[in-house]
Amino acid sequence: MSEADRPSALIPPRRRLLKAGFALMTLAVTPLGMAQGASRILAVRVWPSQDYTRITLEGAGNLKYSHQIVKDPERLVLDLEGVEFDSVLQSLPEKISETDPYVRLIRAGRNRPGVVRIVVELKSEISPQIFTLPPAGSYGPRLVMDLYPNEPVDPLLAWMEKTARPDASEPPRSVANANREPAPKPEKRRNDSAPMITITLDPGHGGEDPGAIGARGTYEKTVTLAVAKRLKAKIDAEPNMRAMLTRDADFFVPLGQRVEKARRVQADLFVSIHADAFIKPQARGSSVFILSDRGATSTAARWLANKENAADLIGGVNIGVSDSHLAKTLLDLSQTATLNDSMKAAKAVLDEIGSVNQLHKGDVEEASFAVLKAPDIPSMLVETAFISNPDEEKRLNDEAYQERLADAMLRGIKRYFAKNPPLARTRRA
């Protein structure tokens, strides 16, 4: 076993120090620009989550690689061919957080002429998905390492464990109130004669995919998560209601997996939350959409749907992994009952949001949003405001406005279920 392959804990401290010094001298004597035909790594990004950890290498050109899993201890070894060992790769170790559930540490170095080796020391056995992505959005060519646990996280069990923790649904607090003790939660009451209503909240975008970006630099993914957490806390405080988030932190979730998570918990309603941009900064107002199997109801609806459906291209999905429910989803899109329920729920939410913000359209709109294609769950997509409008971007960053939005959405959801209880629909096995 060469020292490049050894776990860092097994290399004597004196030897590591000498190696680091020698590498620095080599870099000082041999300018990186002298490497003939070598490509550069422009950025390294790491997105840890309970579902998986994603490591992304963005290159100036296409990246050629090979990889292997090494046992005892568990490591993922990645060799990059024709790549410069530069300051970006040297910064790899600081990218890993101690709280990362799957990665212990990461390091890189020259393995042999023209080859940079990256070693990822793991906390447990993983099943890696490694693939390349062509340029998309503001990103150049990317090499993606998705590190999934050998035993996949069960969304239902993970959600149940989180809901059992008292702090799992705490809404975000401002910096000024960060040190203040949160008010005690009221004891959740359950009326045993009524069914438990399960709602899946889907904060749009995340991780590699920032979504729309406002003029002041606000990321859509940040706003949607903040609003979703506030709404979750309010739903969880209601008797006979509970909410599950498709993501509870800043990481990427493919569109198909968002739908699958809702189906795994047998959700009674799916609400995707967004704050999109439009080609005109004057565009403003809130909107609510449901799935259309006929076509978009407006030019803006078609434009937004196309933009949201491209999220997987920006965030990066391994196209070699098939969706087991894709065929069923496409086959059952004509389920009239689900679309009718979606319209009822969307109208109730739209009416309530209209008391908080002006509406972009007075009626529920329809478009072919991929994230709404659950064949058996009433689904809606809420555009809270246009982040491309400077005034609305400012409001979306305001905690009081986020609270009012969450309150309005909750009122609409409760109105819908008051007239359409879950027992009125056939439950899934």
Per residue in 89-99, pLDDT (tens digit) is 999 999 999 99
Average confidence (pLDDT) over 162-172: 53
pLDDT at 331: 43
Together in a domain, 104 and 165: no
Domain assignment present for 30: no
Most confident of 9-23, 321-335, 336-350: 336-350
Sheet holding 142-149, edge to edge: 41-48, 53-59, 142-149, 126-133
Do 247 and 330 fall into the same domain?
A: yes
pLDDT for 277: 83
Do the beta carbons of residue 368 and residue 297 sit within 8 Å? no
Q: According to the model, what pLDDT value does residue 213 have?
A: 93
Lowest-confidence region among 22-31, 87-96, 362-371, 383-392:
22-31
CA angle, 190 then 194 then 197, to 5°: 80
Q: How confident is the model at residue 37 (pLDDT cuts 50, 70, 90)?
A: low
By C-alpha distance, which of 108, 47, 123 is closest to 77? 108
Provide long-range contacts, Cβ within 8 A and 24+ apart, for 362-366: 364/288, 364/289, 364/290, 365/287, 365/288, 365/289, 365/290, 365/296, 365/297, 365/298, 365/301, 366/289, 366/290, 366/291, 366/292, 366/294, 366/295, 366/296, 366/297, 366/301
Same structural domain, 262 and 140: no
State both tokens at 267: 């959700």
* Number of domains, the chain: 2
- Give the whole-number percent of the chain exceeding pLDDT 90: 58
Range of the domain at 71: 38-149
Residue 93's closest CA among 115, 109, 81?
109
By the 8 A CB rule, do 208 and 316 touch? yes
In this structure, the answer to whether residues 232 and 246 fall within a common structural domain is yes
Tokens of 31: 């300018």
Task: Calculate the dihedral angle through the C-alpha atoms of 284, 288, 294, 299, rounding to the nearest 10 degrees.
Answer: 0
Residues 6 or more apart whose Cβ sits within 8 Å of residue 310? none
Asked whether residue 33 is domain-assigned, the answer is no
204 neighbors 251 (Cβ within 8 angstroms): no
Residue 229 inside a domain? The answer is yes
- Residue 365 confidence (pLDDT): 92
pLDDT band at residue 333 using 50, 70 and 90 as cut-offs: very low
pLDDT grade, residue 380 (50/70/90)?
Answer: very high
Structure tokens at 247: 């993501």
Residues 316, 390, single domain; the answer is: yes
Specify whether 258 is located in the same domain as 131.
no
The last residue of one of the domains, among 149, 170, 199, is: 149
Whether 127 shows a pLDDT value over 80: the answer reads yes
C-alpha–C-alpha distance, residues 258 and 373, integer Å: 10
Q: How does the average pLDDT of the chain come out, rounded? A: 81
Lowest mean pLDDT among 101-110, 151-160, 215-224, 340-349: 151-160
Query: In the prediction, which pLDDT does 158 show?
Result: 66
Let me know whether 169 and 78 are in one domain. Answer: no
Instruction: State residue 173's pLDDT score.
Output: 44
With H, G, I as helix, E, B as strand and everything else as coil, classify residue 351: helix
CB 221 within 8 A of CB 203: yes
Is the residue at 59 inside a domain?
yes
Task: Please tell me the predicted confidence (pLDDT) of residue 292.
Answer: 83
Q: Is there a single domain that holds both residue 134 and residue 173?
A: no
Q: Are residues 132 and 170 in the same domain?
A: no
Please state, in angstroms and as integers, the Cα–Cα distance from residue 318 to each residue in 254, 321, 329, following that order.
Answer: 10, 6, 19
pLDDT in tens, 136-150: 888 999 999 999 999
Least confident of 71-80, 351-360, 362-371: 362-371
pLDDT digits (tens, 9 = 90+) for 226-278: 999 999 999 999 999 999 999 999 999 998 899 999 999 999 999 999 998 87
pTM (two decimals): 0.79
Taking the C-alpha atoms of residue 106 and residue 112, their distance in angstroms, rounded to an integer, is 19
Beta-bridge partners for 48: 53
Q: Does residue 417 fall inside a structural domain?
A: yes
Please tell me the predicted confidence (pLDDT) of residue 211.
Answer: 92
Does 17 map to a domain?
Answer: no
State the pairing for strand pair 269-274/365-367. Answer: unpaired
CATH code of the domain covering residue 250: 3.40.630.40
Both 130 and 199 in one domain: the answer is no
Q: Which residue has the higher pLDDT, 187 or 321?
A: 321
Residue 13 in domain = no
- Same domain for 174 and 219, yes or no, is yes
What pLDDT was estimated at residue 155? 62
User: Is residue 113 located within the same domain as residue 131?
Assistant: yes
**Relative orientation angle of helices 255-264 and 155-164, to the nearest 10 degrees:** 70
pLDDT score of 327: 46
Question: Is 68 part of a structural domain of the chain?
Answer: yes
Q: Rounded distance, CA 429 to CA 424, Å?
A: 16
**Residue 200 confidence (pLDDT) above 90:** yes
What CATH number does the domain containing 143 carry? Answer: 2.60.40.3500
Q: In what order do the strands lie in the sheet with 75-81?
A: 64-70, 75-81, 115-122, 103-112
